[in-house]
Chains A and B, each alone.
Chain A
Amino acid sequence: MKKVFIQAAEQVSIQEPLSEQWMTEPLSYDEPLVKAQNPAFRDYMAANEARRMGGLMKRALVTTLKVLKETGIEHPDAIITGTCLGSLDYTERILDAMLENGEEALSPTHFMQSTHNTVGSALAIYTKTHGYNTTYSHGSISFDLTVQDAWMQMQLSKISTALVGGHDEMTEDYFSKLQQVGFVGVEGMVPCGEMAMSMMLNTDPSVDHLAELAGIRMSFRPSREQLQQQLDSLLGEADMTLADVSLVMTGMNGNPANDQLYKATLEMLFPDKPTMDYKRVFGENYTASALGLYAAAHLLKQKEDLKAILLLNQTETGDCSMMLIKK
């Protein structure tokens, strides 16, 4: 098994952008919908470039450029992007325009940037990177699938570096629909946020890294036995036992429909483990699991006492992912 390291990871979210200030001074919110805390884009791109890009794209580009700079990797072997809703803002502008003007005189500009792969391909265009490039869009596991893809190609020795990311934005209108179906905005729930997270995975053990990515398992409506098997095989592959896991990171968000899934799994697999609910800090979002992995990697780097973290991502639709990272 080839080792995979998390070399660098950066975020823009509802916390202080491009910073780990959330560890000591997290921002807290009472509103159910919180827009991203944008960094000063002009520090990273020319004003005319920034004007041509939507918020989602700018945030994804800034986190990417920072990761490329930190790692000194100009052209990663792969750029693998996760986004559930893609360019939601532009998509709705097109729908609005069709409502107002019918099917006449639509501007092509928003359409050009409305497909889900706009982000991933724009990162390649901006950095002139010709390697493997793909985009996953599958609800709350959109980011986890990028990690699985990079992992596979590293095991196959096809690539040694991969820029993976999770990026999603939110609009007022879409938030209200998601609230109506009970995904966000539920009483007692963390806010719904926006985000971009870019991360460099690298098989080179000699580079400075935040953590080692020991493995990932993805499934759909796993049975108790399957979940146990997945955990055992993850730990076995990493030559670890459950006792070596310091912390379980969950996607609990205060929404009972969501949290009951995690509670059942925790009770069954990790009855005595300390847990951390990263969405309490970063809010709910389809690609929030990217912030979970980001947070876990930075915590492992900074906290002496943490040895390994298991990340759990479960969705009401039945998707399930487990990731294990260690020092």
Chain B
Amino acid sequence: MIPIYITGSGVVSAIGVGKEATLAALQAGQTGVRKLKYLDSCHDELPVGEVQLSNHEMNQLMGVADDLRHTRTALMGRLALREALKEARLERDDLKAIPFISATTVGGMDRREAYYAQEAECDDVHAEISTHHCGSSTEMIAEPFGEFASMATLSTACSSATNALITGANMLRCGMADIVVVGGSESLSKFHLNGFNALMILDHEQCRPFDRDRAGLNLGEGAAYLVLETEASVKRRGVKPQFVLSGYGNACDAFHQTASSPDGEGAYLAMQEALQLAGLKPEDIQYINAHGTGTPNNDESESHAIQRVFGEHLPPVSSTKSFTGHTTSASGSIEAVFCLLALQHQFLLPNLNWHEPMEDGIIPVMEQKPQGEIRHILSNAFGFGGNDSSIILSKL
């Protein structure tokens, strides 16, 4: 495979706006999972990973006026996209040659549910809000920055952003573009908070990935984008990349709509494919950023899949869901940025809230200090329906 360079990234989550704040929180082991504050829901017994800004405050950071139609997904996305474009030194005129591939599932649901009661006889602005679809979020995120060459939206639930990375990488490999911007954004909504609650997979305490007593996930929100670029483009623009996307895989568990198979077949296949494409062996990976939601089912299934792939060469594994909550469609790109920070600053992302080993499960890493150099990280993202994807990020 041709090298896919990563020349910019930006992130927004419960642990901070921007990479600097994110790095500080990760290294301090400071979780962003807190009592519910911004979402208008009665479930304040459920801890969540909210971005600690109101919609108005996010607009202020962007220097734009409030607009009833702007979804929280779009506002978070803009902050993350701005950081990524800036780092990659991409200007408005450059975007005309760059496809934008974003991911979301909730999209504009936060707005639609807020006005749903009035929909029967609403004005045109509210009718517009009620007809926003996933692609509208992507358009809204892009809008302040200029016109991209093309746009696309992936929607595979919790693996959406990872699949956006995969689509973007394939476009570069096919010569359809020299640069792509990829990632995802997802806000909390009453819709999916209640949906996950009805499925009884939300922990009423801080989530405990890979712990024997884990009792579910905490939902989170956020956005992250990465700029992927070919070698020719990097040389032409004179930018100095530090990282490459060296492999990726996508497979389907084909087992159940909301549960993973006991042996984690889809996850196993996705990780194997990523290693194969990268030309790497299990022993070449120094850290695994697990999907690790904290649900009994995911962590058991993922443990088995990781053990099947890595066998005796199991590197340190952890889940950062304990920092951010599960940021669903955006988790793949948010955690990809966390992995880039780990590669850049050579530390392992610790797994918070872990106490007791689960039977036959992964024992996650609590230490930040690596054994040696971290060169390759594998990151997993798995979605409802068994849409499982893995990527490998490497340091140059």
Contact = CB atoms under 8 A, between A and B. Distances in A.
B155 interface: yes
- 10 closest Cβ pairs, A-B complex: A121-B385, A111-B195, A138-B135, A133-B252, A180-B127, A108-B198, A116-B155, A137-B155, A137-B134, A138-B153
B252 A112 contact: no
B167 interface: yes
7 contacts: A84-B135, A112-B199, A133-B156, A145-B152, A173-B119, A180-B127, A220-B147
Contacts of B385: 115, 117-118, 120-122, 124-125, 133
Contacts of A153: 170
B255 A108 contact: no
Interface string B156-192: 1100000100110011011010000000000000111
Interface of B: 41-43, 105, 112-113, 116-117, 119, 122, 124, 127-128, 130-131, 133-136, 138-139, 147-157, 163, 166-167, 170-171, 173-174, 176, 190-192, 194-200, 250-258, 265-266, 269, 383-387
A134 B329 CA distance: 13
Please indicate which of the listed interface residues A115, A122, A317 has the most CB atoms of chain B within 10 Å of its own CB.
A115
A125 B163 CA distance: 19
Given A174-B131, A177-B131, A219-B150, A149 B252 contact: no
Chain A CB count within 10 A is highest, among B41, B105, B136, for: B105
A178 B128 CA distance: 8
Contacts of B387: 117, 120-121, 133-135
Contacts of A79: 252
Interface stretch (A22-30, A96-104, A202-210, A256-264): A96-104
B252 A130 contact: yes
Contacts of A139: 133, 135-136
A91 to B, nearest CB: 8
A142 B135 CA distance: 9
A117 B163 CA distance: 12
Given A115-B385, A121-B257, A136 B154 contact: yes
A46 interface: no
B254 A137 contact: no
Interface of A: 79, 84-86, 91, 94-95, 98-99, 102-103, 106-108, 111-118, 120-122, 124-125, 127-139, 141-142, 145, 149, 152-153, 155-156, 173-174, 177-178, 180-181, 183, 218-221, 286, 317-319
Given A117-B385, A122-B257, A138-B135, A131 B252 contact: yes
B131 A178 contact: yes
A135 B135 CA distance: 12
B328 to A, nearest CB: 9
A37 B383 CA distance: 32
A124 B254 contact: yes
Given A131-B252, A137-B155, A114 B41 contact: no
B198 A106 contact: yes
Most central of A91, A121, A141 by chain B CB within 10 Å: A121
A155 B175 CA distance: 11
B105 A116 contact: yes
B124 A181 contact: yes
A117 B382 CA distance: 12
A84 B133 CA distance: 7
Residue in B113, B149, B152 with the greatest tally of chain A CB atoms within 10 Å: B152
A180 B124 contact: yes
A137 B139 contact: no
Given A112-B257, A138-B135, A181-B127, A133 B251 contact: yes
Given A128-B254, A155-B174, A183 B131 contact: yes
Most buried by A among B151, B166, B192: B151
Nearest to A183: B131
Contact of A106 (B135, B173, B197): B197
A133 B155 CA distance: 11
B250 A132 contact: yes
Contacts of A129: 252, 254
Nearest to A151: B174
A133 B135 CA distance: 19
